[in-house]
Structures are given as structure tokens and as C-alpha cells.
């Protein structure tokens, strides 16, 4: 198994998209962290006393992760779906006939860089946002802040694996990206705020991730109000990821090689 994982890591390392997507993850989080921090810092003096009381510094501190996840999701899709799209899946399965071992090795190879980059992104996003927020930043010593950063790290890692599993399920990159990118854009920015649909859509993985990172707190005027807390939110994301990976394995095990 060690040799299989190392082989998959070589595949990932030698593809140009790996460097670009992982670098874009960190850079996007840091840049959006600065922009969100400056925006809130400039707006704070104009807030009413009630708005200042409801102000939650974790919102601008970690909001960059909601956009940084897009690049990490693309990495997960390309790392798994690229072999289907390029046709090299045939050679891979000839070398490793056990499809379960093959997929497990590939997912482990995806998880290693994803976990490291997710941690770096969460730290960079929070750090740059704190510099921009100045006196209105979040206190790192608070347990709540550390839990939110840890939740952001776990969320990014799980979303990358969710994307990898979906790519195996749909057997390609184009179909997986066609599902994921509209979901992540519309789920957070639009559909999640539709009152009629919020009962179901609040359990989408990206919506649960925002709850886990405390990105809804302090917004008393929001239309969308999750029915669960940060701990349950991570469980929701974990369930989505597990279902995606199991479905991807079932498809790879039973389907003919394209």
C-alpha cells in the first residue's frame, strides 16, 4: 500500500494543475482575508451601537475560506477525474487490479497535500484578516476562535475529499465540476437564502461548513437560519464526504473501464 500511495503522489506532483490549484487555494484565502478585514474595519465606525454589539470578528476572519475552497475542490476533482478523462485509468487498473486498493491509495495521496494546504490556508486567511481588522480582530486565545480555525481546516480537507469521491462517481472532471462549482456558488450566495428552500438546503455541505466556521453568527437579520450548531455541522460535512467516497468506490468497482 505504501508503494501505491507513493506512486499516486508522483502522479499528482508531476501534473501542473496541482501546483496552480494548491497555490491558488492559499493565495485566495489570504487575499480575501485582507479584503474582508479592511471592509469590516472601514465599516465599523458607521455601524449603529446595536450592529457593533452583534459584530462577530470571525466572519471577516474566515470568510476567505468560502472562496479558497473552490481551488481545493478543483484540485480534488482533477487528481481523481483526470485519469478518467485522459484514459490513463486503463493503465492504472492493469497495474493495480484491486480497484478498492487503487482508489484508497489515490484518496490518501489526495488527502496528504489537501490536509497540509488546508491548514496553511486557514492560518493564512485568519492571519491576514487580523492584520487588516486591526483593533476589531478576533482574540486567538479564545477557545471559540481556535475551534473555528480548526473547523475551517477540517472543512477544506473534507470538501477536497468530497470532490474527489464525486469525481470517481461521475468518472471524469467535466461532469464533477459542472455539479460542484454551481453548488458552491449558488448554495452559499443564492439558493441558501431562499426561504422556501432553506429547510433542505441548509444541509448542503457548504452551508454546514459556514455554520462550523461560525460565519452565520452575529447576523440577526439573516433570512437563512441553520437548525444546528457547529459540532453538528461538521458531522453533516463528514456524512456528505463519506457518502461521496462510498458512491465513488461502488461505481469504480462495478463500472467498465472507460
Residue-wise pLDDT tens digits, 112-142: 999 999 999 999 999 999 999 888 878 887 7
- Confidence check: pLDDT of 235 > 90: yes
Average pLDDT, the chain: 84
pLDDT at 192: 54
How far, in Å, CA of 133 to CA of 59, rounded?
A: 11
User: Per mean pLDDT, which range of 18-22, 87-91, 153-157, 179-183 is the poorest?
Assistant: 87-91
Q: pLDDT tens digits, residue range 47-56?
A: 777 776 777 7
pLDDT score at 221 = 41
Look at residue 85 in the predicted model and tell me its pLDDT. 75
- 247 vs 1, more confident: 247
Range of the domain at 249: 2-254
Query: Per residue in 170-229, pLDDT tens?
Result: 888 888 888 888 877 665 555 555 666 666 777 888 888 888 888 765 444 444 566 788
Q: Which residues contact 221 (CB under 8 A, 6 or more apart)?
A: none
Distance of alpha carbon 253 from alpha carbon 123, whole angstroms: 38
Total tally of structural domains belonging to the chain = 1
Over residues 136-186, the pLDDT tens digits come to: 878 887 788 899 999 999 999 999 999 999 998 988 888 888 888 887 766
Amino acid at each position: 500500500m505504501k508503494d501505491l500511495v507513493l506512486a499516486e503522489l508522483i502522479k499528482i506532483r508531476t501534473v501542473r494543475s496541482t501546483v496552480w490549484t494548491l497555490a491558488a487555494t492559499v493565495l485566495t484565502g489570504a487575499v480575501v482575508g485582507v479584503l474582508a478585514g479592511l471592509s469590516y474595519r472601514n465599516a465599523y465606525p458607521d455601524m449603529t451601537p446595536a450592529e457593533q454589539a452583534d459584530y462577530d470578528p470571525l466572519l471577516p476572519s474566515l470568510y476567505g475560506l468560502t472562496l479558497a475552497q473552490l481551488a481545493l475542490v478543483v484540485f480534488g476533482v482533477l487528481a481523481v477525474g483526470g485519469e478518467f478523462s485522459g484514459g490513463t485509468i486503463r493503465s492504472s487498473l492493469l497495474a493495480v487490479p484491486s480497484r478498492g486498493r487503487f482508489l484508497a491509495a489515490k484518496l490518501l495521496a489526495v488527502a496528504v497535500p489537501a490536509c497540509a494546504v488546508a491548514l496553511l490556508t486557514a492560518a493564512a486567511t485568519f492571519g491576514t484578516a487580523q492584520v487588516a481588522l486591526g483593533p476589531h480582530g478576533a482574540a486567538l486565545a479564545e477557545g471559540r476562535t481556535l475551534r473555528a480555525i480548526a473547523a475551517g481546516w477540517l472543512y477544506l480537507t473534507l470538501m477536497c475529499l468530497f470532490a474527489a469521491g464525486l469525481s470517481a462517481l461521475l468518472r471524469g472532471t467535466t461532469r464533477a465540476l459542472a455539479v460542484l462549482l454551481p453548488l458552491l456558488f449558488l448554495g452559499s450566495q443564492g439558493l441558501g437564502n431562499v426561504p422556501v428552500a432553506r429547510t433542505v438546503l441548509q444541509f448542503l455541505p457548504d452551508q454546514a461548513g459556514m455554520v462550523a466556521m461560525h460565519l452565520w453568527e452575529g447576523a440577526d437579520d439573516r433570512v437563512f437560519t441553520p437548525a444546528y450548531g457547529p459540532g453538528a455541522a461538521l458531522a453533516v460535512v463528514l456524512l456528505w464526504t463519506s457518502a461521496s467516497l462510498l458512491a465513488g468506490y461502488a461505481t469504480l468497482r462495478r463500472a467498465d473501464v472507460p
